[in-house]
Structure 1
Amino acid sequence: MNQEQKSPNIRRRRLGQVLRGLREESGLTLDAAAKGAGVPRSTLGRMETAEARRLRHTDLNALADFYNVDAETREGMHGLAREAKERGWWSKYKDVFGERALPDWEAEASAIRTFQSQLIPGLFQTPRYAAAIFRGGRATTEENIERLVEARMTRQQILNRIHPPRMTAVIDEAALHRLIGGHEIMREQLEHLGHLAVRHNIDVQVLPYEAGEHLGMEGSFTILEFPEPRDTPIVYVETATRGLFLESTEELDAYNVTFSNVQGVALSTSRSAEFIHHATQALEKQT
């Protein structure tokens, strides 16, 4: 894996797991461990929950001494801390992605499952379709639109890497009919979606109107899975103000059940390809 494909967030989460595991093995509360190691309780708490952005060598050494870890474990802790400070390409777009960037998690994902109720998934969008979405009735400069589109197109490079993630997308029929940017842009987008649907690592399923009610009616979401068993999956839900990352077992279970439901009532990949083709042809007649 090259430098740009490493995820600092995942490294922080692994380090947090190590520290929490050492504390629990010692049978200590957070207060007792922090006091014993001489590390502020709030600092140790943020380290264990992967919220700490600054990981100081002195704190790590103090914890390693307190837990009496071996040299290999100590070096592993420092190695994770060093990698957690590294920056991927998305750091250049902090104004676009925010503090906890979705590409940070996508960088190492081995499988991505997404349900989209209104739009074509961001990883599948064409530049003109994405630009039309970002305009979306808002008064904004073209320069800002270009930057947002550039960031989104760069995200899509994970689908072209040597070992791309397995991508499964269930897309509501509404997303195929919603006329984003006009007939020409929408036709171009559907053609692109049709081409992606036949890639070996991508499955696209259309959820037709006739499927009726389903568990995904509350909104879109994405589940990201990782190759390392210790890196538990994470759910991403985008809101009007920010993206939410959900990690608890209960939340993961709920979204796994929801995705299984929408995938189960969606059309097969072959029938979905035909559906997308017919929708594209319908737009061709209107352009």
Structure 2
Amino acid sequence: MLSTQVTAPSAHDQEPNVIDSTARYSPSVRRRRLSRELRRLREGTNLTADEVGRRLEWSQGKLSAMETNKWKRPNPRDIKDLCELYETDDATREALMTMARESRKRGWWEDEYGDVLGSAYVGFEQEARSLHAYQPLVIPGLLQTPAYIRALARGDLARDADEIDRRLEMRMTRQKILEHEDPLTMWVIIDEAALVRPFGSTADQREQLQRLVDTDALEHVTLQILPFDAGLHAGLACGFVILSYTQDPSIVYLETGGGNALYLDKPEDLERHSVRFQHLQASALAPDASIRFLSEMISQLE
């Protein structure tokens, strides 16, 4: 049965169309959840998508798009019609209608930075309860310093000063999720290759390494370094992120370059990457040793 626990509106929801950066829920995640629940309800009635479309006089493919999360702003009227057809109880109907209304809002990343590279990913990160990531080439976005973010943008061929500033602003706003009263729990493994790649000044490099060392004081952040002397290991193919949720299936995020990405949610994809992450944990330095490794790198910078 669909959970009828619904997030109550709070002070930050006074603006009806935009969710601000202090919120810990995401329209992207709510749309995904709504799609999954609509499909489950239809299957429970033993109706096909075509049969539902004919009964409601909808265009071909409309319900399929709704059930596969290929929509942006769910229409509450459509949800109401489906609830009537499926003969749902009042609690289920209200939960679905609330999800539809929340799904129609715009997150701060869409409202302010919808055209910035990587903004789509933020929608899934915003409501995640935990994040497990392996980064072979760059420092994870949530742990980057302003100087590193700017250098990374220029390395990605961003030349317009306004574009670089907007990338910086969005990433720094993203990082607030680690300072939230209900913060994201994060376990990240960083390959030594990402640490030794030079950028900016020596002071910039020292600041970035110190930012990583400072995570040792955060109970909700665990960091491991995978040194070169680990040899060939399970993460040589590519980096990845596993996002886990309280009410929703986990997602595996793979960056494919050029602003493109894959979002995988099949059980076999999650299992494969979870096993890979466990192997990387075993190959990497322990958290305490990783902090010492980083501190030693700082001391060696001239």
TM range (shorter): over 0.9
TM-score scaled by length of structure 1: 0.92
- The CA distance in 1 between the partners of 2:100 and 2:133, in whole Å, is 31
Give RMSD over aligned pairs: 1.7
* Cα shift at 1:32: 2.3
TM-score scaled by length of structure 2: 0.88
* Cα shift at 1:244: 2.1
Q: Which has the higher helix share?
A: 1
Match of 1:131 in 2: 150
1:234 to 233, 245, 251: 251
Cα 1:79/1:97, change in 2 over 3 Å:
farther
Match of 2:286 in 1: 268
Contact 2:186 2:221 (8 Å CA) reproduced: yes
After superposition, the C-alpha distances for 1:47-103 in whole angstroms (9 at most, x for unaligned) are 1112211322332222122211122222222111100011221121001146x7222
Contact 1:38 1:62 (8 Å CA) reproduced: no
Cα 1:139/1:28, change in 2 over 3 Å:
closer
* Cα shift at 1:13: 1.4
Equivalent AA in structure 2 for residue 138 of structure 1: L
Match of 1:26 in 2: 45
- The CA distance in 1 between the partners of 2:279 and 2:142, in whole Å, is 22
* Cα shift at 1:282: 1.0
Runs of 4+ in 1 over 4 A off after TM superposition: none
2:205 paired with 1:186: yes
Equivalent AA in structure 2 for residue 64 of structure 1: C
2:166 to 147, 150, 156: 147
- The CA distance in 2 between the partners of 1:60 and 1:201, in whole Å, is 38
Gapped runs of 5+ residues in structure 2? 1-6, 14-22
> Secondary structure of the equivalent of 1:40?
coil
- The CA distance in 2 between the partners of 1:77 and 1:191, in whole Å, is 45
After superposition, the C-alpha distances for 1:35-54 in whole angstroms (9 at most, x for unaligned) are 23333342111111122113
* Cα shift at 1:107: 1.5
Worse-matched range after superposition: 66-75 or 270-279: 66-75
Cα 1:210/1:26, change in 2 over 3 Å:
same
Identical-residue share of aligned pairs (%)? 38
Match of 1:89 in 2: 108
Match of 1:259 in 2: 277
Match of 1:59 in 2: 78
- The CA distance in 2 between the partners of 1:134 and 1:169, in whole Å, is 22
- The CA distance in 1 between the partners of 2:50 and 2:108, in whole Å, is 37
- The CA distance in 2 between the partners of 1:238 and 1:137, in whole Å, is 14
- The CA distance in 2 between the partners of 1:46 and 1:257, in whole Å, is 32
Equivalent AA in structure 1 for residue 298 of structure 2: T
After superposition, the C-alpha distances for 1:170-189 in whole angstroms (9 at most, x for unaligned) are 00011111112242211110
After superposition, the C-alpha distances for 1:102-159 in whole angstroms (9 at most, x for unaligned) are 2212221111111000111010000001100100172612222111111111100000
2:290 paired with 1:280: no
- The CA distance in 2 between the partners of 1:59 and 1:201, in whole Å, is 40
Contact 1:9 1:50 (8 Å CA) reproduced: no
- The CA distance in 1 between the partners of 2:60 and 2:262, in whole Å, is 25
Equivalent AA in structure 1 for residue 83 of structure 2: A
> Secondary structure of the equivalent of 1:95?
coil
- The CA distance in 2 between the partners of 1:172 and 1:187, in whole Å, is 17
- The CA distance in 1 between the partners of 2:59 and 2:281, in whole Å, is 46
Residue correspondences, number: 281
> Secondary structure of the equivalent of 1:140?
coil
Contact 1:117 1:171 (8 Å CA) reproduced: yes
Worse-matched range after superposition: 32-41 or 213-222: 32-41
> Secondary structure of the equivalent of 1:5?
coil
Match of 1:249 in 2: 267
1:16 to 27, 32, 35: 35
Contact 2:117 2:167 (8 Å CA) reproduced: no
Contact 2:242 2:250 (8 Å CA) reproduced: yes
